[in-house]
Chains A and B, each alone.
Chain A
Amino acid sequence: MGNRTTAVGHHILPLKVYLGVGAALIVLTAITVTVSFFNFGPYNLLVAMVVAAIKASLVALFFMHLKYDSKLYMIIFVAAILFLAVFIIFTLFDTLLRGDVEPITA
Chain B
Amino acid sequence: MSQTAGHPSFLQHHFSDAEQQRESAKLGMWIFLLTEILLFGGLFCAYAIYRSWNPEIFHNAHVHLNVYLGTLNTVVLITSSVTMALAIRSMQLGRRTATLRFLAVTLALAAVFLVIKYFEYSHKIHLGQLPGKFYTYDGIAGTNPHIFFSVYFLMTGLHGIHVLAGMATIAWLVVRTSRNVFSSEYYTPIEMTGLYWHLVDLIWIFLFPLFYLVG
Footprint of B on A, CB under 8 Å?
4, 6-8, 10, 12-13, 15, 18-19, 21-22, 25-26, 29, 32-33, 36, 44-45, 48-49, 51-52, 55-56, 59-60, 62-64, 69-70, 72-73, 76-77, 79-81, 83-84, 87-88, 91-92, 95-96
Partner of B78, one of A8, A25, A88: A25
Residue of chain A at shortest CB distance from B41: A84
Question: What are 24 pairs between A and B in contact, CB < 8 Å?
Answer: A7-B183, A7-B184, A8-B185, A15-B86, A22-B79, A22-B81, A26-B75, A29-B71, A29-B74, A29-B75, A29-B208, A32-B209, A48-B213, A52-B206, A59-B81, A60-B198, A60-B202, A62-B85, A63-B81, A63-B82, A77-B33, A80-B33, A84-B41, A91-B49
A-facing residues in B177-200 (Cβ within 8 Å): 183-185, 194-195, 198-199
Q: CB within 8 A of A12: which of B30, B92, B210? A: B92
Question: In the complex, what distance in Å separates the CA atom of A22 from the CA atom of B53?
Answer: 36
B48 CB, nearest partner CB in chain A, Å: 5
Against A, the Cβ 8 Å flags (1 = close, 0 = not) of B30-61 are 11011001100110110011001100000000
Which 3 pairs, one residue from A and one from B, show the smallest C-beta to C-beta distance? Answer: A48-B209, A22-B82, A36-B213
For chain A, what secondary structure do more than half of its interface residues adopt (helix, strand, loop), or is it mixed? Answer: helix
Interface contact B41-A88, CB-CB below 8 Å: yes
Residues of B within 8 A of A60 (CB): 198, 202
Partner of B214, one of A6, A15, A36, A92: A36
* Docked-complex contact A83 and B19, CB < 8 angstroms: no
Complex CA distance for A5 and B205, rounded to whole angstroms: 31
Choose from A18, A56, A70 the contact partner of B82 (Cβ within 8 Å). Answer: A18
Contact check, B49 vs A18: say whether CB atoms are below 8 A apart: no
Contact across chains for B205 and A56 when beta carbons are under 8 A apart: yes
